[in-house]
Amino acid sequence: MQTLLRKKYINLQEKMHHMQLAKESKFNRITEALTTLLQRQTPPPDSSHVGSNSPKPSFQVRSVKLDFPRFDGKNVRDWVFRVEQFFDYYETPDYDRLTIALVHLDQDVIPWFKMMQRANPFPFWRVFTRALKMDFGPSVHECPKSTLFKLMQTGTVNSIWNLQPLLTEWTVCNSIWNLQPLLTEWTV
């Protein structure tokens, strides 16, 4: 009877040992898979650069302090551009962008935001900037062609780069008004 119990005991020990080895093997494979995934998601420290589409870590403090631009309802395109540069520099996650920008609104933009938020809250940063551009940007009734014909050179050739937003609008109307010959004379 004791030998039978002894054999069963040894048999159970062997099964336990095999089960433990199998679990260790599975654990090692899981650990290797997680390590591989983490290595794929974490870019090397020297590979981050402006314009990179790689996943970025959450908001970080940087050594150079940039001031966040305030928005008073004027020059919306410039403001959005500067704010997006700020967010890119600080690698601000999309879900934090709207909250950060809201505390930097001034003058007529605050009541506008309150009204818009009550009617239809902004779910994302892009929706907010699109609404800003629609309400505070150039009027859709402004005719780029008439602005083009009123254009007179008063400065240097280098100053033409300040007209880049107008050139962008003209490009949109180019196919309608066939302004290509005139545009090529003004671009550098």
pLDDT of residue 48: 44
All structural domains of the chain with their residue ranges:
2-39, 76-136, 144-186
pTM confidence score:
0.46
Cα angle value 70/95/48 (rounded, 5°): 85
If residue 7 lies in a helix (H) or strand (E), which one and from where to where? helix 2-41
Six-digit token string for 158: 């280098």
> Which one, of 60, 78, 58, 61, lies nearest residue 69 by Cα?
78
Whether 69 contacts 82, CB under 8 Å: yes
pLDDT of residue 101: 92
* pLDDT (tens place) for every residue of the chain, 188 residues total: 778 888 888 888 898 888 988 888 888 888 888 777 777 765 554 444 444 455 555 555 567 788 899 999 888 999 999 999 999 988 999 889 999 999 999 988 999 999 998 988 888 899 999 999 888 887 766 666 666 666 677 777 666 666 666 656 555 555 455 545 555 555 44
What CA dihedral angle connects 35, 39, 45 and 48, to 10 degrees?
-150
